[in-house]
Amino acid sequence: MCSLTMPAFCHFGFAAAVAWEAGKPLVIEEVEVAPPQKMEVRVKILFNSLCHTDVNFWEAKGQNPLFPRILGHEAGGIVEGVGEGVKELVPGDHVLPVFTGECKECAHCKSEESNVCDLLRINTDRGVMIHDGKSRFSKEGKPIYHFVGTSTFSEYTVVHVGCLAKINPLAPLDKVCVLSCGISTGFGATLNVAKPVKGSTVAVFGLGAVGLAAAEGARVSGASRIIGVDLNPNKFEQAKQFGVTEFVNPKDYNRPVQEVIAEMTDGGVDRSVECTAHIDAMISAFECVHDGWGVAVLVGAPSKDAVFKTHPVNFLNGRTLKGTTFGNYKPRSDIPGVVEKYMNKELELEKFITHEVPFAEINKALDYMLEGESIRCIIRMEH
Ligand SMILES: [Zn+2]
Ligand SMILES: [Zn+2]
């Protein structure tokens, strides 16, 4: 471990949870974390929050396997040191790492409409840093791959400056770390993309953390009916806390769920938000919106072979299909403001946090997620 009296960027080992193979328990290892290079920042991670995408890439089902790898992308930490060219962050700044970035220079970053930066948009297959195509993690000289530019399951990580949101240092990192991915993704998908007006009916497909955050966005927007769709009936009770008013389990019907929803809502919902990542749910989420004005928003990350299929007349009749990454938030420009919404009590985060484990027991967090027990499990990095 580094001590504060040592010169910056010592090369001592730090604890990291390494995924050596698909689906095998993560192993806490001492790894070397290299100093930050040009436009990079080394961050001391204090809290992680497990997101389902970590589990997907750990299982590597429907995704390209890349191992050994340090997963983790929903976290909060403190800047330890900065590399060449980094001007906006200094040691001690509180930051949320984000899996998609904002370079502030490309056409996307300059557009008010887009948040998919040309340089730093999510790339799940890249396991190295952009600057030199190398990893900053190693064990006994052998590189360990990064994950979505964040790799936060480590006491220290190296992140491109464009993937770090500098936030209010008074914000509790063990709470606001959940804004680093899932909660912002769902909340923003509703508020920034679906944009339901007051009194709307909104369907939310998938009542995991992202779906519940989408429901929270609908509640904050003043939706009159929020229909939760999930295959697990145990999720409904919990979902009521997030404003979900009705529940539909597709397993209870022998016809497509879009027909069931259309019947419940006199022709379809005004808005739908899809948060399951399953292709059939994506199609249902589109086909269940009302003709003439309905808007469906896809949020879940699909498997690499997924194909979206619907009849073109569904579009001709005035339905709109949209998709969004990270709730259309620009990480550096917008996330500090979402943290302020929490600080001003406009957005509640505590209800998303159902479990907490020390870093040494990180595999328990994966179990809770796989068993469908947790919404968010906080992983405390320090003893
Ligand atoms: Zn995530
Ligand atoms: Zn950019």
Asked if 117 is an active-site residue, the reply is yes
pTM confidence score: 0.92
Ligand that lies nearest to the alpha carbon of residue 107, given by its number in the listed order: 2
Residue type, 300: G
Asked if 163 is an active-site residue, the reply is no
Spacing, Cα 26 to ligand 2 middle (Å): 33
Determine the pLDDT at residue 121: 96
Determine the pLDDT at residue 193: 98
Asked if 177 is an active-site residue, the reply is no
Spacing, Cα 270 to ligand 2 middle (Å): 33
Torsion of CA 136, 140, 141, 144, to 10 degrees: -40
Determine the pLDDT at residue 11: 55
| Token pair of 368 as six digits | 């809770």
Determine the pLDDT at residue 7: 40
Spacing, Cα 176 to ligand 2 middle (Å): 24
Asked if 53 is an active-site residue, the reply is yes
Which residues are CB-neighbours of 13 under 8 A, at least 6 positions away? 30, 31, 32
Determine the pLDDT at residue 302: 84
Determine the pLDDT at residue 4: 41
Spacing, Cα 190 to ligand 1 middle (Å): 17
Spacing, Cα 318 to ligand 1 middle (Å): 32
Neighbours of ion ligand 1 (CB under 5 A): 51, 53, 181
Residuewise pLDDT in 10s, the chain (383 residues): 444 434 445 556 899 999 999 999 999 999 999 999 999 999 999 999 999 999 999 999 877 899 999 999 999 999 999 999 999 999 999 999 999 999 999 999 999 999 999 999 999 999 999 999 999 999 999 999 999 999 999 999 999 999 999 999 999 999 999 999 999 999 999 999 999 999 999 999 999 999 999 999 999 999 999 999 999 999 999 999 999 999 999 999 999 999 999 999 999 999 999 999 899 999 999 999 999 999 999 998 888 889 999 999 999 999 999 999 999 999 999 999 999 999 999 999 999 999 999 999 999 999 999 998 899 999 999 86
Torsion of CA 222, 116, 184, 55, to 10 degrees: 130
Residue (of 330, 176, 233, 211) closest to 281 by Cα position: 211
Asked if 121 is an active-site residue, the reply is yes
